[in-house]
Amino acid sequence: MSLANVYTVGLRNVGSYQVSGAPFVSGGISSAVTNGVRVAFPYVTRWVKIINETQGLGVNVGFSQRSVQGGGSREFFIVGGDRDSQIMELKLTEIWFSGSCTSVTVLAGLTNIPTRQIDNVGVSPSGSVASQAPLNSHRNWSGSIGVG
């Protein structure tokens, strides 16, 4: 029996984005570290929302470590102190933070697409840091050449 026509979910699987996302919450994140803070998702996101609970300090939010480290280019966005972003419908495998904030929360709705199925080397050849990625993890969009 041939398994050549076995179909699985993937980035272009519409059904994965038509249903409600499985809940994901990670709170109490401190972005006050030198190289940025990575939050990896176990499944590709359907949507994401960032809550910055630190009063008076903005948090830099990007899609790769390189994007939040600066270096003269601006490849991140800022969520102001004691504010939250709108719900952003983005296909992400990870999100990065930098700045001086001590309490950031990530809320996300997850699809049923495992992150191990994603390989974005074509759009982010140097966007991820393989040494910090879990085993069998793949690249995320860097935000430097568009999100894809």
How many other C-beta atoms can be found within 10 angstroms of the C-beta atom of residue 54? Answer: 21
Q: Does 128 have pLDDT greater than 80?
A: no
Q: What is the CATH number of the domain that holds 23?
A: 2.60.120.770
pLDDT of residue 85: 96
Residue 96 included in any domain: yes
Residue 10 inside a domain? The answer is: no
Query: What are the Cα distances from residue 30, in Å, to 44, 104, 138, 147?
Result: 23, 6, 24, 25
Q: Tokens representing 140?
A: 């995320």
Q: CA 108, 109, 114, 119 torsion: positive or negative?
A: negative
> Could you tell me if residue 144 is inside a domain?
no
How many residues are present in the chain?
148
**Residue 87 lies inside a defined structural domain of this protein:** yes
CA dihedral in degrees (122, 125, 131, 133; nearest 10)?
-40
Q: Is residue 43 part of a domain?
A: yes
Range of the domain at 68: 15-132
- What is the average per-residue pLDDT within 129-145? 48
> Count of domains in the chain?
1
pLDDT level of residue 148 (50, 70, 90 thresholds) = very low
Residue 126 has pLDDT above 80, yes or no: no
The burial of 128, by beta-carbon neighbours within 10 Å (0-12 exposed, 13-18 middle, 19 or more buried), is given as: buried
Q: Rounded to two decimals, what is the model's pTM?
A: 0.78
What percent of the chain has pLDDT above 70? Answer: 72
